[in-house]
Amino acid sequence: MKSKHRKIMREQLEVTFAHLSNIKGLQPPVKGWLRSIREALGMSGKQLGARMGVSQPRVVQLEKDEVSGAVTMKTMRQAAEAMDCVFVYAVVPRASLKETIRNQAYKVAERRLSRTAHTMLLEDQQVSSEERRKMLESKIDDLVREIPRDFWTQK
């Protein structure tokens, strides 16, 4: 994908993430969403099972699976629908995508410059700390703009 398209995609995603930022710290209820909502609605496990087309023991297992993280998205969607709810799924970055990319670019640039600096040291061609800072910033900007294939590869 071209860097121009990636940038547009990141900008569009950032708009969506801005709407989701207030739910980053949201924790599910101890009993899980399904059981908590079912109980708040006054719906029994047998009634939810009937609405889903499954048995009451299956509902109990489903609620346990949600709490343990073993439930599928498809099943969560079906259970939510059976309670007249909407299942929402999102992966929300801790920091902005731009910040995440810049942090990675810093790591990559630092690693690359360290190798170069070592070679220059051996050849007695060291640069000043100010020159090194400028080189690092320039390399970071280049990496952010281009995002090479090995950008996320740990070396």
Q: Convert the pLDDT of each residue in 14-44 to its tens digit.
A: 999 999 988 888 999 999 999 999 999 999 9
What secondary structure letter does DSSP report for 54?
A: S
**CATH assignment, 25-82:** 1.10.260
CA distances from 111 to 76, 107, 132, 147, 151 (A): 44, 6, 13, 15, 12
Q: What pLDDT digit, counting tens, does each position of 48-107 carry?
A: 999 999 999 999 999 999 999 999 999 999 999 999 999 999 999 999 999 999 999 999
Show the tokens assigned to 98: 């731009």
CATH 1.10.260 residue ranges in the chain?
25-82
pTM, to two decimals: 0.77
What whole-number distance in Å separates Cα of residue 49 and Cα of residue 92? 31
Length of the chain, in residues: 155
